[in-house]
Structure 1
Amino acid sequence: MQAMNNQAIVQRDLAVLWHPCSQMKDHDPRASAPDGLPLIPIKSGQGVWLEDFDGNRYLDAISSWWVNLFGHANPIINQALREQLETLEHVILGGFTHEAALTLAEKLVEITPPGLDKCFYADNGSSAVEVALKMSFHYWRNIGRTQKIKFITLENSYHGETLGALAVGNVALYKETYAPLLMDVITVASPDCYHREDGESWEAYSIRRFADMEQALAQNADEVCAVIVEPLVQCAGSMRMYHPVYLKLLREACDKYQVHLIADEIAVGFGRTGTLFACEQAAISPDFICLSKGLTGGYLPLSAVLTSNKVYQAFYDNYQNLTAFLHSHSYTGNALGCRAALATLGIFQQQNVIANNLHLAALMTKAVERFKEHPNVAEVRQTGMILAIELVKNKQTREAYPWQQRRGLTVYRYALSRGVLLRPLGNVIYFMPPYIINEQEIQLMADVAWQGIQLAVQD
C-alpha cells in the first residue's frame, strides 16, 4: 500500500497533474527555485478548516477560490446530496426536465432582482458569461438589429478564461498571451476608487468616472450589444471596488441607448457584498445576471444566467425560422449540482445569513484597523465580506513594488506556515472567508496577514 503523507502525494501529483493558474516549476522541489512553493495535499475539510496528510490544518480564508459559503463538509448540503444520489444523478436537459433543476430555477427567479424571469443553466462561471454574451448578440440579431456586434467592458475587469469571456476581460496577465484569438471590444476606464483624489469620496469618484462610459455609449450604441460589469468589486483585478451609484447610472444609460446590461455576479453574488446580490445596492435589475461559484456552496460546478421574458420571447418562434438559442453543455442542469444549490439557498432562507455577514464584516474591519497606518499599505478597502490590503513600496506616492519581486508570495508562504490559506493577487492580500468563520478565526487571519506583511516588506 502506498504511503499517504504529504511528500508521497506531492510526488504522485507532479508526475501527472497540471495545476490551474500556476507556474508548475514553482511547485517542483527538484527545480530548486528560490521562490518556489510546495504543493499542499488536502486530505479533508471541516468548517473553515482544511487538513493535509501530515495533520497540518489551514484556515480557508479565501473560500477555496471564492466558492465555499458555509464551510467544508457542511452537514445540510451533505445530506441533500445523499438524498439526491439515491434518486437521480443526472439526465439530459435537452427535451427532459427534473425536479431539482426546475425548483432551483423557480427559486432563482424569485430571489434575483425583479424582471429576471427565465433561467438558463451552464457548467461554470466562464460558460455563464459566454451564454450571456451570445444570448445578447443573438437577441439583437433575432429582432433585426444585426449591426449590434460589439461589447463594452471596463478596464481591470475579469470575466473568465474561455475565449469570449477573456475577450471582455481586461487583466493583462490573463489576456495578453491570447490577444490574437480574441474579438475586439470597447474598453472604458474603470470606476475603481483606488485612484480617487485625496478627499474625494467613492461616490463622487464613481460618478466622475461614469462620464467615460456615457461617452462610449453615445458614440457606439448602434453597434453595441451589451455592457458587461462586475458589480461593486473587480475581484481578480486586485479586489478593486467602486460605489453602487455607478451601477445606477449605467442602468439608466443602457436603457437610454438601447444596450443590454450584463451583471457578472459570479464572484460577488450570494451575500459577498453585504446584500444577496450586489445589484440590489443600486436598486437595479440587469438584463442578464451571471451566477456561479457560491451558487452550490462550493460543492459542485454549476452556473446560471437569468434574463427577462422580453429576451426570451425574441427566441420563441417556429423552428424553421432558426431563432432558437442552440447552446448547450452536457452537464447542463446537473441534478446533483442543482440539489446542492437548493440546499445552499435553503441555508440563506433558514438562517439570518445576510445580517450575520454584516456582523462578521464589522469584525473584519476592526481586525485590520492597524493596517491602515502601516508604512507599506496604500489602502485597506472593504465591501461586505470582501476585504483587501494593498501593499506598496511607497505609501505617499503609491509606488508599487515590482511584480517580479513577488512580495505577495512571501505573505502566502508565511501564512501557510502559520496555518492560514491566503492567496494574494500580486501584492494585494485579501480576505474572502466562508460565512461561518468566527471572531477568533478572523483575528487569527488578520494577525497572520500582519506578520506576513512585515516579512514581505523587508528589503
Structure 2
Amino acid sequence: MKDTSYVWHPNTQMQEWSKFDAIKSAEGVWLVDSNGNKMIDAVASMWCNVWGHSNPELIKAITNQSKKLQHSSLFNITHDPAEQLAKKLVEISPGMHRVFYSDNGSSAMEISIKIALQYWKNIGEKKKTKIATLENGYHGDTFGAMAVGYVPEFFGKFKKQLFSTIQFPTPNQYRFPSHFTSFADYQNHCMDKIEKKFSNSSDDIAAFIMESGAQVAGGVLIYPKQFQNKISKLCKKYGILYVLDEIATGFGRLGSMFQYEEQKSIPDIVAYGKMLTGGYLTMAATLSSKKIYDSFIGNFNDWKHLFHGHTFTGNPIAAAVANENLYMYEKKHLIKKIQKTSKVFEKFYQEISQIDIVGDIRHKGMLMGIELVTDRDKKTPIHPKKSINKIFYEEGKKQGIYLRTLGNIVMLVPPLAITEKELELLLNRTIKTIIAASPKLT
C-alpha cells in the first residue's frame, strides 16, 4: 500500500501499520474516528486528560486568553497567567517555593537534574556529582531523563551515550527473588542496600530521583507502604537531595492531589506535567524548596543563576487553561470524586483475575495495570511476534475502547472525571478485549 501519511508515530513499528485511524472529534471520555466509530479513551490521551474532551470551561479559558495574549516570553518580562499559576502551585505544594516552567515532562525532569547538580556547585560542594535512582523507573525520553530513568527495553540502544547512575531495586510484590522468605524481607533488603550505599557514598551523591507513588511506564508498580517515606528520610539523614517525578502520578491519578504529601515525603525538587492543563495543552513545571532556590541567588558574575530556558516557557494560553483546571479541581471536589470512583476497579478484580493469561492486577486511584503471562506458575511474560500493543488496539477498537499497552501490561488510565457508569463500561469492555485477544497472544 502506498504511503498516504508523512507522520512518524511515537513508539511504533511503522511496518506493522498500513494505516492509522483518524480521530475527528471527541467529547467526554469518547473519541470519534472519521468513520463515526466511538471509543472510550482508556489511556486519557497518554495519561493527561482530566475532565474529558471538549470541556466548555477549559475551552473558554483557552479562547479568552488567545484573544488577549497568545505568547510572550518569560525572558526579562512576565505575564499574569504564569504569575497566577506559579502562586497557586506554590500554595498547594507543601514545602515548595519557586516554579520553573517548561514544555513537557521530560524537560521538567532535565531541569530537575540540572538544578540538583548545580545546587551543590553553587554552595561549594563540587564532589557531589552522582545521581541515584530506582531500577525500572521512567522519567522521559530525552538523554538526561533516559539516564536517570533507564528502562533497558526502551533505551538499551543509547546506553553508551548516557551518564552513569547508581541504581537500586524497586520492590515488586509479584516478582521478587525466590530466595527471600517474604515480600517484607525483600523490602528490607532493598532499603538496606540504599542505606549502605548512602552511608558509604554520601559525599559523592548529589540527588536521589524517583517517581512518586508508583512506577507507571515501568509496569504500574505501586510502591509498598512506607517505602517512599523511608527513602526521603534516608536522603535527609545523609544530606542527599530528594527529587520526585509527579508528572504521571500527581494531580489525582493515584487518588491524592500530590503523592508526596500522601507518602509524607516532602522533596527538595518536584516535577509536574501531564494533567497540569487538564490535558488540553502542553506544559510542565519544576518546583523547588526555598533552600534550593536561594543557592542560585548571587551577583551576575558569580554565575550561580540557572542556565536553562524554553521558547514557550510559561505560555500564557497554557497557563490560563492550567489556572482554570486547578480552579475546577477545587470547585468540583475532584480528588474526593476520584477516591469514590476508583473503588469501581476493585469490583472487577475477581473477574479479571479469572482470565487464564492474567498473572497480576495492580491498581491505585485511577490507574490499573494488568500483567499478562503465558504460565501463571512461572510468571512467564507474554511475548508474541506481533506487538501486543497492536493486538490490543485492534481488539479494543472492536469493543469500543482505545487501549495502549506497555509490553505485557494492559494499562487502564482513564480521564480522571470519568463517571462510575463509564468506568464500569470500560472495565467490562476491557475484559472482553483480553479474552478476545488471548488466542493471538499465546
Q: TM-score, normalised by structure 2?
A: 0.95
Of stretches 301-310 and 173-182 in structure 1, the one that deviates more from structure 2 is: 173-182
Cα pair 1:411 1:449 within 8 Å, conserved: no
Q: Which residue of 2 aligns with 1:335?
A: 316
Q: Deviations over 1:29-50 (max 9, x none)?
A: 2xxxxxxxx4121101111011
Greater relative CO (CA pairs within 8 A, separation 6+): 2
Alignment of 1:284-295 (within 5 A): 284-295=265-276
Q: 1:284: how far off?
A: 2.0
Cα pair 2:112 2:271 within 8 Å, conserved: yes
Of stretches 287-296 and 169-178 in structure 1, the one that deviates more from structure 2 is: 169-178
- In structure 1, the gaps of 5 or more residues are 1-6, 30-37
Q: Would the alpha carbon gap of residues 223 and 66 (structure 1) be closer, same or farther in structure 2, given more than 3 Å must change?
A: same
Q: SS state of the match for residue 378, structure 1?
A: strand
Q: Which residue of 1 aligns with 2:166?
A: 186
Q: Which residue of 2 aligns with 1:173?
A: 153
- In structure 2, the gaps of 5 or more residues are none
Q: Which residue of 1 aligns with 2:85?
A: 104
Q: Which residue of 2 aligns with 1:125?
A: 105
Which of 360, 368, 375 pairs up with 2:356?
A: 375
Q: Which residue of 2 aligns with 1:355?
A: 336
Report whether the alignment pairs 1:232 with 2:213: yes
Q: Distance in 2 between matches of 1:309 and 1:417?
A: 52
Which of 38, 45, 48 pairs up with 1:67?
A: 48
Q: Which residue of 1 aligns with 2:11?
A: 21
Q: Deviations over 1:210-238 (max 9, x none)?
A: 22222222232211111110112111111
Report whether the alignment pairs 1:283 with 2:264: yes
Q: Which residue of 1 aligns with 2:133?
A: 153
Q: 1:170: how far off?
A: 2.1
Q: SS state of the match for residue 243, structure 2?
A: strand
Cα pair 1:188 1:216 within 8 Å, conserved: no
Of stretches 281-290 and 124-133 in structure 1, the one that deviates more from structure 2 is: 281-290
Identical-residue share of aligned pairs (%) = 34
Q: Which residue of 1 aligns with 2:95?
A: 115
Cα pair 2:355 2:435 within 8 Å, conserved: no
The residue type paired with residue 76 of structure 2 is G
Q: Which residue of 2 aligns with 1:325?
A: 306
Q: Which residue of 2 aligns with 1:3?
A: none
Q: Distance in 1 between matches of 2:378 and 2:293?
A: 51
Q: SS state of the match for residue 338, structure 2?
A: helix
Q: 1:412: how far off?
A: 2.5
Number of residue-to-residue matches in the alignment: 439
Q: Deviations over 1:234-263 (max 9, x none)?
A: 111111211241111111100111111111
Alignment of 1:125-144 (within 5 A): 125-144=105-124
Q: SS state of the match for residue 222, structure 1?
A: coil
Q: Distance in 2 between matches of 1:331 and 1:384?
A: 32
Of stretches 442-451 and 270-279 in structure 1, the one that deviates more from structure 2 is: 442-451
Q: Would the alpha carbon gap of residues 200 and 277 (structure 1) be closer, same or farther in structure 2, given more than 3 Å must change?
A: farther
Q: TM-score, normalised by structure 1?
A: 0.91
Report whether the alignment pairs 1:417 with 2:407: no
Cα pair 1:203 1:243 within 8 Å, conserved: no
Alignment of 1:2-41 (within 5 A): 12=4, 14=5, 16-27=6-17, 29=18, 38-41=19-22
